[in-house]
Structure 1
Amino acid sequence: MRISLNWLSELVDITMTPEALAEMLTMAGFEVEEIEDRRTWADGVVVGKVIDRQQHPNADRLSVCQVDIGAATPSTIVCGAPNVKAGLLVPVATLGTFLPRVSDGLKIKPAKLRGVASEGMICSLAELGLTKESEGIHSFDDDGLQVGSDVRPLLGLDDVILDVTSTANRADALSMVGIAREVVALTGATLKLPKAELLDSPASVETLTLKISEPQACPTYIGTVIEQVTIAPSPRWLQQRLQSAGTRPINNVVDITNYILLEWGQPLHAFDRDRLVAVSGQRSAVSQAVADSRPQPSLQIGVRFANTGETLKTLDGQTRSLQEQTLLITAGDQPVALAGVMGGEATEVHAGTQSLMLEAALFDTAAIRRSARSLGMRTEASARYERGVNQAELEVACRRAIGLLAEFAGGVVTTQVMADARSSQSAARSIELRLDRVNQVLGPVTVGEELSELQPQDVERTLTALGCELSPMTTDRSWTVTVPPYRYRDLEREIDLVEEIARLYGYNNFCDTLPDKTEPGFLSIEQALSRNLREALRAIGLTEVTHYTLGKPGGTRQIVLSNPLFAEYSALRTNLIDGLIDAFQYNLEQGNGALNAFELGRIFWSEEDGLSEADSLAGILGGDATRGKWVRSGREQALTWFEAKGLLESAFQRLGLAVEYQPDRRDDRLHPGRTASLWVGGSRLGTFGQLHPQLRQERGLLDEVYVFELDLDVLLDQLDRDELRVPIFQPFSTYPPSDRDIAFFVSTQVSVAEIERTITKAGGTLLESIDLFDEYRGENVPTGQRSLAFRLLYRASDRTLQDNDIDPVHQQVREALVDKFRVDLRS
């Protein structure tokens, strides 16, 4: 919020510099993002009177003016504005003046323009920084101005603006009164609130009724009918205050409602009452009442949620389609405004308005937030209602507005009605505060060169400055604190009061304490294992990617959000493979080639007994990873099943895992004959397979693409073993190995993993490695079988093996295969 120090000085005495005030507010939690010193914009600009204006002898669009600026002789100034003429009182930048708001800054020096000397510059409002564009020079209307006097007080440039940002919990800080109260609490100065006169009871009959259909969304509504209004420009001081806050002046009625918004933080809205009656369907009754000089017909103002299909043209000229969660103000059940957000164009105040209906209301924060969000709108009013306005001073703000309307628009109150459903929550809240708890949370303070605790008088002085009332309890180290109504929303618990004490006492006054002995940081087991896992996957050429947890709905067992931001991101992902396939396709479409990647993330799914989630690891492989394809005439070579499996196997081998592969057909996205479930240590680790040809064709992917998805919890459990976490050095044997080949026919139903497991068990400690080097199916092989050939490597670490060492062990392997799988040995 933009804070005018001139305006603030009327509410609280300020004796410090703007820089010191900004520092104080920032340290108290109200960050001052910018200090806009307007006094520098027109330093050296004075009131001048154009005595004479003549056409420039050498330029059609220039004028030569004689301007009295209070000096002994008039100044000659060449001016290019078309509206300059004799008799005008104008702002004149004298020689030596620097205008920082003109381009990159302009210093006024003696100059010759088309052969005529010029001793200054007659300024427009744009050149003084008050507007972006101006059609000509500015002229003052007051003939009683003293020539040569400073123009800054006349233009509101004798001011400093602080751009203050408040936290979301401080709704009271979105008003001048709220900031003034904060300054009072920080400095101990006296608060001077604006006067709001009490209203006399209206003498006329009531011509206004209220129908609040949603009292929870609108607990309080005050409607005031004001007659005999004259629409005119606002006083100059009011316009300047609005401009300093970044608000454009419109007319006296609208400006007053905006002024109260800035002063008290209470949004108001003024309707043209005659237009309200016309919108409600009583146009003929209005005309007849005016003709017969009878009282106006009764008007019913309502608050309800919108119906499907309703529309409203708002003040910004846009016709908006209303949602069921949009809160409306109605006249005769016809929508006339978006409650707490923006008024309607059909009932706005205009130049011919003579009768007003002034709205002052409290709206529920959640209702306004949903309403504004459903329409994609955010206004100054909705921003305050969303944070929560001060319930206790609604009537004060309303009376203050009515007083200003009576003073500057000639308005007379004829009717005022109120619907009030405020709960007891708006009453004063009491919180127990313990001094021991305060010191426990905040720690010691620095008093001179010594350390001390906060004393009871420190707590009492600080909270009293905030407007709290403290009553001592049975012990002198605790109080019952009554919270002021304007801080009702953010002071709810004891810890809130502790925070306020620290904030106002000064964070910099508390001691900095460090631990006696710092401990070196370390990675948790999960973090260390995850790093090793990422390293192994990067080593086989995969790139780590990250996708959104949210995606499109439509899958089985999917968890769908009830209130998503976008339809495309409305469901939690149930697997990581879908996102990797999308990324793979996107890279191909962008001409970036195949994306070999992996992702670690969380997946979610619904079950009969509730919702579940788990960490998962997935990857995708495809394309031709080789470079220099000239030996193949530039042709791409697709990644084969065994090459993809070998890459994954090399990652497992690097991690020290022995993973088994079993046929699997459960995933419809994968090729039914080229899919395997992965097992490790008796637990199912995940799935590896080739994408189904139909899916590959639909997505326009390469000929062969492979994916895998692993249960990260199972994987980390297997890696969390001492022998894997701490590598043990294994020296190379200095003795040569001896190999033996074994070939046999075996049923195709028996997997190689089962055969290798049997050979390993039978081979014992002498068997170093097993290598499958041949598989054959076809002629001379019995139906339902295949021919497999293995090379077995035997080695001892302490001697050279002889045939009499190897033969018995190799024979055990042969017998084990015959006994378990009924193989037909060929060698």
Structure 2
Amino acid sequence: MRISLDWLKTLIAIDKPALEVGKLLTDAGLEVEGIDIVEAVPGGLQGMVIGEVLTCAKHPDADKLSVTTVDTGDGEPKHIVCGAANVAAGQKVVIATVGATLYPAGGEPFQIKKSKIRGAVSEGMICAEDEIGLGHDHSGIMVLDTDLPNGTPAAQFFGLASDEVFEIGLTPNRADAASHLGVARDLQALLKTPYQLPDLSSFQVANTSLPISVEIENPEACPRYAGVSISGVTVQESPKWLQQRLRAIGLSPINNVVDVTNYVLHELGQPMHAFDAAKIKGGKIIVKNANEGAKFTTLDSMERTLRAEDLTISNAEEPMVLAGVFGGLQAGVTEATQSIFLESAYFSPAGIRKTSQTHGLKTDSSFRYERGTDPEMVITALKRAALLIQEVAGGEISSEIVDVYPTPIEPRQIQISYARVHQLIGQHIGEARIKEILTDLGMGLAEETAEDLLLNIPAYKVDVTREADVVEEVLRIYGYNNITLSENLAASYLAKFPNPDPEVTTARIGDALAANGFLETITNSLTNSNYYKDAEGNTPAELVPILNYNSEDLDAMRLTLVYSGLEVLRHNINRRQRDLKIFEIGKTYRKDGEKYKENNYLALFMTGNRAAESWQQASAKASFHDLAGQVQQVLTLCRQPHFTTKPTEHPYLAGGVTYQKGDVTLGHIGLLKESVCKQVDVKEQVWYAELNWDYLLRNYKDKLVFAELSKFPEVRRDLSLVVEKSVSFDQIKQVAQRVERKLLQDVNVFDVYEGDKIEAGKKAIAISVTLQDQNQTLTDKVIDSTMSRLMQQFEHQLGAVIRK
């Protein structure tokens, strides 16, 4: 956003240099990214002054040259050789002094130097219009009609003073500052100088010969619409002052009527539109939604297909404007226009945003409307624009102001407490200073107590909706740099941090996985909906689609981390990186009826060899147990060492186990189905695990429980069990833990055999059982009794045969 300092000075008195004003604005949240010097003509006529020709005589050695003496106001007449036929003594002229750089129209810049021309000294140049870039006339030097003293800068005579323009990086929450008036409001609070709106006292209705009625069919999309007619206008080029103002902020002048609407938009922040009144069929403006599929040609001569959601400004027969976004070609102002209808309205931001995005139209009007404008500025801007049009295009106001405002928008009220303001700021700045800042920013006091304020928030403060927003307003005017930092930094006054901190826990687990050779990935939450379609091409109801996607490959929110992880594997495998271990902690998204849910998961992937090739050991493919070891380490670090397992039914896994804790599913682990990998063009075998990260974080306890080491020795006994192949080690372990809770310290499997030496459909599992008593040494009798009970229950509950 570009803001002209000269323009600002018409709204608020500023006596500070541009650099200082820029620093004030930056400190207040309007970051000034640069200050440009804008000149009305190249060079700004620097080094050129008004001078007077004192004497003029023919050059002794050149018939077409004259030798003159001129007074440039410095007390010493200058000798200048001039080739213009119309030069004469007594003339007031423009003198380019030695050292000045000229920027001639259509030519290259050059510098004036003291020289000799045919033997005569020349200490400057008497200038023609084209030689200083003011025009294209080269018939002779410019002869001025002025009483200004000699030495007066030429820029002053021509009204071509340079302007300083701020380039402001406007943040999305500062829609109220998207104009010169918006910036002036902040400067009012910063400089303690009131701003002044343009004088509208001369606005007067001359006659009512051109009435235009207004009807709003969709008041939710257009709460307020106003307009006025002006007849007898002459559409032509704008005066130079108006063109210079627009060019200074980067706009190209079009004609005097359109230029005024642009001027008011950037001055007051209220978008405007001018219609050719003769093209308003039926003498009626109707604000309504378009007919689905209707064709409409905009000012850029492009035909567009409208939607039923698009709001239009129509006449009695057809649309004329895409409301708040772009004008139509047919009703635009041209040089043939003699009467206009001037529009000023307030539109709902959501509707304008949708129309702008749908049709790919980004204009200065839509930029402001979709962020929120001021409904109370509608009439002020209308009068301002009408007066300016009368000034630059003539004409007279030929109707009363039409203002359709069925349901006035009430100002928001926000209650704040001084204590909360001081708490959020982190420093006591005083109740009087808080009230002063809020008043300077235009916030009215509805009610006041010693502890609280009830504020009326002006409509242009569209992003001030809660107490914290008010505190931000106070703080940016008070000055972030004025907040002192204590010796001991703390943030307790801002928010309570959870203990344990989820971010710290996440980082800790990530470090542990990285230490075991896993690399962390961060992938896009957007994905391809085709991944989730079944064989018949149906999309699951829980998939969250993207309505305005830019790419067909990113048209939905991901239901799982599987596909984004596989895409990372594919990218690396295609670049000959085949031994991969990666993990990601990320969100998945799903639709549950009318609600939407986000869940966090930890996903781990392994493919290729478990470790790089080495002379110390042979290469071996990654296996289920390699990944299971990592999963169990994560569960242990998350303080979840006790869990059960069962065969998984995960839709993407071709076998594996599910980790359970009571009724809660902690996660799944197994081999990804070949069909799933094939969807992402991954041909290698991929082991996959996912853990319910939300549950693990929610139930993480940052408190370790310690127990004194036993003084009495452990005892180990080994058993060999022959069981059905379907019996898992986890089942064996659960039976042991149920049988002996006090003495059993550990159950471990150290060998598994399946082969022709045992019955078909069976397997032999060798386990070790560790027993220990915390209070005494175990006796053989106690050990034998315990082992006997264990073997009995293995046989009874699992159908095991104990090999002896």
Q: TM (normalized to structure 1)?
A: 0.74
| Change in CA separation of 1:544 and 1:336 when aligned onto 2, cut-off 3 Å | same
Is residue 2:233 matched to residue 1:229?
yes
| Change in CA separation of 1:310 and 1:126 when aligned onto 2, cut-off 3 Å | farther
Shift of 1:441: 8.0
| Change in CA separation of 1:170 and 1:657 when aligned onto 2, cut-off 3 Å | closer
Give me the whole-angstrom Cα distance separating, in 2, the residues matched to 1:786 and 1:749.
Answer: 9
The unaligned stretches of length 5 or more in structure 2 are 57-64, 533-538
Give me the whole-angstrom Cα distance separating, in 2, the residues matched to 1:625 and 1:745.
Answer: 30
| Residues 48 and 100, structure 2, Cα contact 8 Å, conserved in 1 | no
The one-letter amino acid of 2:322's match is L
| Change in CA separation of 1:640 and 1:232 when aligned onto 2, cut-off 3 Å | same
The alignment partner of 2:354 has SS state of helix
Give me the whole-angstrom Cα distance separating, in 1, the residues matched to 2:708 and 2:102.
Answer: 78
| Residues 539 and 651, structure 1, Cα contact 8 Å, conserved in 2 | no
What residue in structure 2 maps to residue 292 of structure 1?
Answer: none
Shift of 1:823: 3.1
In the TM superposition, 1:805-824 aligns within 5 A as: 814-824=791-801
In the TM superposition, 1:18-97 aligns within 5 A as: 18-38=18-38, 42=44, 44-46=46-48, 72=77, 94-97=97-100
Is residue 2:499 matched to residue 1:524?
yes
Give me the whole-angstrom Cα distance separating, in 1, the residues matched to 2:786 and 2:456.
Answer: 89
Give me the whole-angstrom Cα distance separating, in 1, the residues matched to 2:797 and 2:414.
Answer: 79
Shift of 1:775: 1.0
Give me the whole-angstrom Cα distance separating, in 2, the residues matched to 1:379 and 1:594.
Answer: 52
The one-letter amino acid of 1:639's match is A
What residue in structure 2 maps to residue 558 of structure 1?
Answer: 542
Give me the whole-angstrom Cα distance separating, in 1, the residues matched to 2:102 and 2:708.
Answer: 78
Segment drifting more, 555-564 vs 153-162 = 555-564
Give me the whole-angstrom Cα distance separating, in 2, the residues matched to 1:560 and 1:334.
Answer: 38
The one-letter amino acid of 1:254's match is V
Segment drifting more, 509-518 vs 396-405 = 509-518
Segment drifting more, 684-693 vs 787-796 = 787-796
Shift of 1:439: 8.0
Segment drifting more, 705-714 vs 428-437 = 428-437
Shift of 1:357: 3.1
Deviations 1:291-342 (CA, angstroms, capped at 9, x unpaired): xxxxxxx433322222222233333344333333222122333222222222
What residue in structure 1 maps to residue 653 of structure 2?
Answer: 670
The alignment partner of 2:14 has SS state of coil
The alignment partner of 1:345 has SS state of coil
Match of 2:681 among 659, 681, 700: 700
Is residue 2:396 matched to residue 1:394?
no
| Residues 754 and 762, structure 2, Cα contact 8 Å, conserved in 1 | no
| Change in CA separation of 1:712 and 1:340 when aligned onto 2, cut-off 3 Å | closer
| Change in CA separation of 1:464 and 1:792 when aligned onto 2, cut-off 3 Å | closer
What residue in structure 2 maps to residue 626 of structure 1?
Answer: 611
What residue in structure 1 maps to residue 568 of structure 2?
Answer: 583
Deviations 1:140-178 (CA, angstroms, capped at 9, x unpaired): 988547897534343633433334566656655434445
Shift of 1:241: 1.6
Give me the whole-angstrom Cα distance separating, in 2, the residues matched to 1:595 and 1:218.
Answer: 57
| Residues 299 and 326, structure 2, Cα contact 8 Å, conserved in 1 | yes
| Residues 579 and 611, structure 2, Cα contact 8 Å, conserved in 1 | no
Is residue 2:726 matched to residue 1:749?
yes
The one-letter amino acid of 2:749's match is D
In the TM superposition, 1:190-229 aligns within 5 A as: 191=196, 193-202=198-207, 204=209, 206=211, 208-229=212-233
Deviations 1:765-808 (CA, angstroms, capped at 9, x unpaired): 5987633323123x353343233344667899999999999777
Give me the whole-angstrom Cα distance separating, in 1, the residues matched to 2:731 and 2:501.
Answer: 32
The alignment partner of 1:707 has SS state of strand
Give me the whole-angstrom Cα distance separating, in 2, the residues matched to 1:430 and 1:640.
Answer: 63
Shift of 1:707: 0.9
Give me the whole-angstrom Cα distance separating, in 1, the residues matched to 2:664 and 2:606.
Answer: 24
What residue in structure 2 maps to residue 420 of structure 1?
Answer: 404
What residue in structure 2 maps to residue 545 of structure 1?
Answer: 521
| Change in CA separation of 1:211 and 1:727 when aligned onto 2, cut-off 3 Å | same
Is residue 2:267 matched to residue 1:263?
yes
The one-letter amino acid of 2:3's match is I
What residue in structure 1 maps to residue 749 of structure 2?
Answer: 771
Give me the whole-angstrom Cα distance separating, in 2, the residues matched to 1:685 and 1:477.
Answer: 50
Segment drifting more, 657-666 vs 342-351 = 657-666
What residue in structure 2 maps to residue 283 of structure 1?
Answer: none
Is residue 2:313 matched to residue 1:329?
yes
The unaligned stretches of length 5 or more in structure 1 are 53-63, 79-83, 281-297, 447-452
Give me the whole-angstrom Cα distance separating, in 1, the residues matched to 2:564 and 2:295.
Answer: 40
Is residue 2:394 matched to residue 1:410?
yes
| Residues 222 and 360, structure 1, Cα contact 8 Å, conserved in 2 | yes
Give me the whole-angstrom Cα distance separating, in 1, the residues matched to 2:356 and 2:225.
Answer: 19
Shift of 1:127: 12
In the TM superposition, 1:607-618 aligns within 5 A as: 614-618=599-603
What residue in structure 2 maps to residue 58 of structure 1?
Answer: none
Shift of 1:689: 1.0
| Change in CA separation of 1:582 and 1:141 when aligned onto 2, cut-off 3 Å | farther
Shift of 1:719: 5.8
| Residues 225 and 405, structure 2, Cα contact 8 Å, conserved in 1 | no
What residue in structure 2 maps to residue 534 of structure 1?
Answer: 510
Shift of 1:624: 1.8
| Change in CA separation of 1:598 and 1:109 when aligned onto 2, cut-off 3 Å | same
| Change in CA separation of 1:495 and 1:333 when aligned onto 2, cut-off 3 Å | same
Segment drifting more, 15-24 vs 807-816 = 807-816
The one-letter amino acid of 2:21's match is L
Deviations 1:691-749 (CA, angstroms, capped at 9, x unpaired): 12333344332442111122235545776385xx356796999x9x9977644432233
Shift of 1:669: 1.7
Is residue 2:167 matched to residue 1:160?
no
What residue in structure 1 maps to residue 253 of structure 2?
Answer: 249
Deviations 1:502-535 (CA, angstroms, capped at 9, x unpaired): 666x448977485999699998235354444333
Segment drifting more, 649-658 vs 581-590 = 649-658
Segment drifting more, 254-263 vs 558-567 = 558-567
Give me the whole-angstrom Cα distance separating, in 1, the residues matched to 2:409 and 2:697.
Answer: 52
| Residues 638 and 704, structure 1, Cα contact 8 Å, conserved in 2 | no
The one-letter amino acid of 1:773's match is D
| Residues 42 and 151, structure 1, Cα contact 8 Å, conserved in 2 | no
| Change in CA separation of 1:463 and 1:365 when aligned onto 2, cut-off 3 Å | same
Deviations 1:419-453 (CA, angstroms, capped at 9, x unpaired): 51243436x8888899899889889878xxxxxx5
What residue in structure 1 maps to residue 660 of structure 2?
Answer: 679
RMSD, aligned CA: 5.6
| Residues 219 and 363, structure 1, Cα contact 8 Å, conserved in 2 | yes
Match of 1:341 among 325, 329, 344: 325
State percent identity of aligned pairs: 26
Shift of 1:690: 0.7
The alignment partner of 2:15 has SS state of coil
Deviations 1:748-775 (CA, angstroms, capped at 9, x unpaired): 3322222345567669859876333231
The one-letter amino acid of 1:582's match is E
What residue in structure 2 maps to residue 689 of structure 1?
Answer: 670
Match of 1:785 among 762, 767, 779: 762
Give me the whole-angstrom Cα distance separating, in 1, the residues matched to 2:335 and 2:260.
Answer: 15
Segment drifting more, 737-746 vs 792-801 = 792-801
| Residues 224 and 406, structure 2, Cα contact 8 Å, conserved in 1 | yes
Give me the whole-angstrom Cα distance separating, in 2, the residues matched to 1:395 and 1:28.
Answer: 29
Is residue 2:623 matched to residue 1:640?
yes
In the TM superposition, 1:277-676 aligns within 5 A as: 298-415=282-399, 418-425=402-409, 453-455=430-432, 506-507=478-479, 512=484, 514=486, 524-525=499-500, 527=502, 529-552=505-528, 556=540, 558=542, 560=544, 572-605=557-590, 614-628=599-613, 638-649=621-632, 662-671=645-654, 674-676=655-657
What residue in structure 2 maps to residue 150 of structure 1?
Answer: 153
| Residues 214 and 404, structure 2, Cα contact 8 Å, conserved in 1 | no
